[in-house]
Chains A and B, each alone.
Chain A
Amino acid sequence: MRNSRATRLLFELSKPGLRAVRFPEPDVPTPPPQELLPSEQLAADPPPLPELSEPDVVRHFVNLSTMNMAVDTHTYPLGSCTMKYNPKRNDRWAGLPGFAQLHPYQPEQSVQGLLQLLYELQQYLAQISGLDAVSLQPAAGAQGELAALLIAAAYFRQRKAELGPRTRVLIPDSAHGTNPASAAMAGFEAVTIRSNSQGLVDLEDLQQKLDPQVAVFMITNPNTLGLFETQIERIAQMVHDKGGLLYLDGANMNAILGVVRPGDFGADMMHFNPHKTFSGPHGAGGPGAGPIAVKKHLDPYLPVPVVVRDEEGRFRLDYDRPHSIGQVRSFFGNVGVLIRAYAYIRTLGPQGLRQVAEDAVLNANYLLSLVKPFLPVPFGSRCMHEFVATAQELRRQRGITAMDLAKRLLDFGFHAPTVYFPITVREALMIEPTETESKQSLDAMAQALFRITEESPELLRQAPHSTWISRPDEVQAARRPMLKWTPQEDRS
C-alpha cells in the first residue's frame, strides 16, 4: 500500500543537515581546496541537492516502485517490445564481482573469462542470424541501426567507382520510427515504401523506388504487423540486383529463433535487441544492447573493437581494423546486458531457443483467435509473435478509441498493448503476449478485453479508474514544460 507522504518529491522531503552517506575520515593531508586548485575554478557552495536520511531515500523509492506495472508484477503485452519474463539467475551472474568489477582498460590477459564469454556470444549471434561477423558494441537497437547504416555508407564510399553514389535508404511505412531517424542521422535520405493490402511490402512501390542511388532497404521481418514477409527472397533479390544492401531490423527475432535465419533469407546486416529477444530486463526504458551481425563483405567495416582468438587460444580485443567505421560508443558495449544474453542462450540451447519462437507464436495466435471475434484484426487470420487489432469500428459505432481500451485494460490488471502503432493501421492495438505468459493469463486478458468492449463509452473515456492518477494532461505538459522541480513551485 502506497505511502503518499513518502512519494512527495525528494526536494519536498529534504531537510537541511540530513544525509545518508558518510565517507571515512581523510587519512591523507587535507589542505584547503583553494591551495590545490585555482579559486576561480571553485564553486562557492556545493550543488543544491536534496538532503535526506537513508530510510527516507529507501522508503521514497520503494514506494515509487509500487506505482509501476512491470513484467515481474503483471502481464505486459506491449507490442514490439517483447516483455517476457527475465530469469533472475542472469542478474546474479551479471553482478558477480568477476564481471561487474572489471575496468574497461584492464590488461587483456586479466579479463580472459569475460572475453571468452563475449567471443562465444559473437559466435552464437552469428549462428542465430545466419550471418558471418558480429559487433557487440552498439548500446541499443537504434544505435545498431545507425552503426549498420554507417557501415553501408563506408562500404559504398569504397565502391563508389563501381556502384556510384548511394544516398537513399528505403523504409516500409510500417517500420519503427527509429529506422528513418537512423537513416537521417547517418546522412541518408529516408524514402518510404508503401504496404500493400495484405500489410506486406508493396513490391511495385519498391520496384519503382529502387534505383541505383539506394544504399539500403531496411526491413522488419516479421514486420510490425506480426506478419512474415512472404516475398522476402524476392525482395532481397531485387535489392541486391540494384547493388543495394538489405538490412533487417531484428526487433522481432523472438518469432523466428531457430526457425528461419535472416542471413538465409537474404539480409546482409541486422541488429539484435538482447533486452527483448534474450530476456535482458527492460529497466524502466533501458539499458538495452544492439549487437549487429553482417555478411562477410561488410565485416571489415564493423565498429572496433571486436573480440578475436589467437592461435594460442588467447582472447584479444582487435582494434587494428583499418576499414572500421570506428566506435559508436565508448569502451566495449553494454557488457552487463550481453552477459545476460549469453546466459539466456546457454540456458536454452538450440532446442530451447526454437521452443521460444514456437511458444511465442503459439501464444500470439491463440490470443488472436480469442480476440478477433470481437476486435477486428485487419491483416491476416494468423500472425507470428504479435498481431495488430483495430478499434476503428468501435470508434465509429460507439466512440471508443484504442486509447480507451488500453487505459481500461490497466484497471483489469494488464499492461496496455502498444497503441497507435504501426501507423498503417488506424486505432491500432499491437499485442505481443510473449512465450512466458500462461494460457490462463491469455484467457484472462482476452476476457478482460471483451468485457471492456461491452462497457459504456463514458466509463472508458475516464479510464483507468483504479490507478493513482488517470489521463494526465499531456497537452499542458508540452505547452508549459515543467521539466524540473523549482523552489518557487514548492512555495505556491
Chain B
Amino acid sequence: MLQAIGLESVEELFAQVPEDLKLRKPLDLPPAMSELELEDHMNRLAQANEAMDRWVCFLGAGSYDHFVPAVVDYIASRGEFYTSYTPYQPEVSQGNLQAFFEYQTMITQLTGMDVSNASLYDGGSATAEAVLMSFSGTGRSGAVVLSQAVHPEYRNIIRTYLENLDTQIRTVPCPQGTTAPEELARLLDDQCSCVVVQHPNFWGQLEPVEQLAQVAHEHGALFIVVVDLVSLGLLKRPSQYGADIVVAEGQCLGSPMSFGGPYLGVMACREEFLRRLPGRIAGQTVDRRGRRCWVLTLQTREQHIRRQKATSNICTNQGLLAIRAAVHLALLGPQGLREQAQLCLWKAHFAAQQITALERFELAFPGPFFKEFLVRDRQGRVADVLHWAWKQGIAAGVPLGRWFPQLQDCFLVAVTEKRTAEQIRRLAQVLAQAP
C-alpha cells in the first residue's frame, strides 16, 4: 500500500506534522490486553460494584428501575441499528428514519402535543434547550422562572446554559411541596419567557398544572413542563392542561439505569414552535416513484446548515435510545402503560403506608403523589437509616441534603412496578430496626 502511495515508510505518512511536535515516546498507558484478560479485568471492576440486580432498588430522583422487556435489548443490539449513524442517506436508512417517525408519533400520543423531535441527550439538557427555545418563541429573554421543585440538577444545567447570557433566573420557593400559583404570579412579569415546572415534581408531588399554566400564559410566558412518561399512563396529557413545551427523561422507556447514561432527552411542543425545535426530526414524504418514505427534515434549523443561527448545536443525539423507547412503547401499548402506571401508583402508596405506620417516619409533604414520595425521619438520622438499609440489601432512598439543606432529614423513595409487596414489607421492617 505504501508503494502505491509512493512512500517508503509509515513515518512519511505523517510528514505534515512538524517534527518538533511529534511524540517521541509511546503514550503512557497500560499495555494492551487480550480479550480474555480484559474480560477478567472488566468482570472484576463490575463485580466491585453493588448493583441493583442484587440490591432492592427504591432509588429514583430522575433515574428509575423500571422493567425492560427482553425484546428491547434484542432489537437495539441489531447491528443494523447499533452501528449505523445519523440517516444522512435516506435510501439506506429507512429503518432508522421510520423508527424515529414512529417514536415521534408515540411521543405525541403520550403527551398530546403536536410535534416531537427525534431525541436530545437527556431530561436535564432537554429542559435547558426548552428554556432556550422560549427566548425565540416569545421574543423575551430577560428572565425565566423555575419552580424549586424541578430536579435540582436540571435547574443547575439551566443555570450553566444561561450563565453567559443576560437572563435572570427566578425560582419559586415551594415550602409546601408544590408550586403555588399565587407565588408564581408574584415572580412573573413581561420579561419572562417561560415557566418551568416538573409534574410530578422532584419530590413526587403532583403540581396544580392547570392553574400554573394559566398563570404563565396570563403573563405571556410559555409553560414548560418536565413530565414522568410512565405517569402518562394515568395522568392527563400535558396538552390537556396547556403545556407549550414538554420535556422528559426517557430512560424509563426501556433503558437501563447505567449510572446515569446514556439516557434519552424527550421533547415535544405545540405546532407553533416547530421551527424552533432543536435536534433531528424525521418527516414523511414520497420518493421519485411516489413510494412513501421518510427523511430528516426541516434541517434549516440545524447547525450543519445554519451554523451560528441554528436552533441548537446538537448533532449526535440519542438515536438508539429513541429506538429503544419506540420498541418499548410498542410492546406496552395503551393497556400495558396504564397497568404499569397503576402498579407504580398502588405500590408506592402501599410503601408509603407501610413506612408511615412506623412512629419514626412521616411524609414530608401532604399532597397527592404518583410513584415517588418524600419521607421525613423524625430523628433526623437519614444517613444512618440509609446506610443500615443498604447493609440489609436495600437501597431505601435518595438523601436530599446535598440540594436542599432544609430537607436533610428527608429521603426520597421511588417504587416502580418491579417492587413486590414482600420487598416493600421488608423495607418497612428494615426501617423499623434502623439505628
Contact = CB atoms under 8 A, between A and B. Distances in A.
A316 interface: no
Given A57-B331, A96-B46, A469-B91, A46 B38 contact: no
Interface string A52-77: 10100110111011111111110010
Nearest to A61: B75
B21 A78 contact: no
Interface stretch (B113-121, B215-223, B374-382): B113-121
Contacts of A66: 80, 95
Given A103-B63, A111-B49, A286-B320, A328 B261 contact: no
A418 B386 CA distance: 53
Q: Which of A18, A101, A326, A464 counts the most chain B CB atoms within 10 A?
A: A101
A287 B321 contact: yes
A10 interface: yes
Given A49-B332, A113-B45, A281-B82, A469 B287 contact: yes
A427 interface: no
A281 B81 CA distance: 10
A421 interface: yes
A400 interface: no
B101 A485 contact: yes
Interface in B317-332: 317-323, 326-327, 329-332
A331 B283 contact: no
Contacts of B13: 358, 361-362, 365, 382
B95 A65 contact: yes
A326 B403 CA distance: 13
Nearest to B329: A49
What bracket does the count of chain B residues touching chain A fall in?
35 or more
Contacts of A102: 49, 51-52, 257-259
Interface string A106-120: 110011111011000
A106 B397 CA distance: 9
Contacts of A54: 71, 331
Interface stretch (A24-32, A203-211, A237-245): A24-32
Contacts of A410: 89, 91-92
Contact of A178 (B26, B93, B303): B303
Contacts of B17: 228, 230, 256, 259-260
B409 interface: no
B80 A351 contact: no
B104 interface: yes
Interface in A302-357: 303, 319, 325-337, 343, 345-354
Given A41-B206, A101-B53, A30 B342 contact: yes
Interface in B1-57: 1-2, 4-7, 10, 13-18, 20-23, 26-33, 35, 38-39, 41-53, 57
Contact of A354 (B27, B51, B306, B349): B27
Contacts of A95: 256
Contacts of A299: none
B316 A286 contact: yes
B346 A26 contact: yes
A326 B330 contact: no
Nearest to B85: A282
Contacts of B119: 285-286
Contacts of B105: 9, 11, 484-485
Contacts of A182: 313
Contacts of A46: 233-234, 334-335, 337-338
A369 B6 contact: yes
Nearest to A117: B45
A81 interface: yes
B385 interface: no
Interface stretch (B151-159, B182-190, B356-364): B151-159
Q: Which of A68, A105, A346 has the most CB of B within 10 A?
A: A68
A330 B345 contact: no
B121, B327, B347, most chain A CB atoms within 10 A: B121
Contact of A106 (B59, B295, B330, B420): B59
B81 A65 contact: yes
Interface string B275-314: 0000011111111110101110111101111111110111
A384 interface: yes
B49 A47 contact: no
Given A366-B5, A472-B286, A146 B335 contact: no
A346 B33 contact: yes
Contact of B123 (A117, A330, A361, A484): A330
A59 to B, nearest CB: 11
Interface in A439-492: 439, 462, 464, 467-474, 476-478, 481-485
A398 interface: no
8 contacts: A21-B69, A23-B340, A42-B234, A46-B334, A57-B71, A327-B156, A361-B13, A468-B293
Given A143-B125, A325-B160, A468-B293, 6 more contacts: A68-B93, A68-B94, A103-B65, A232-B18, A334-B261, A358-B13
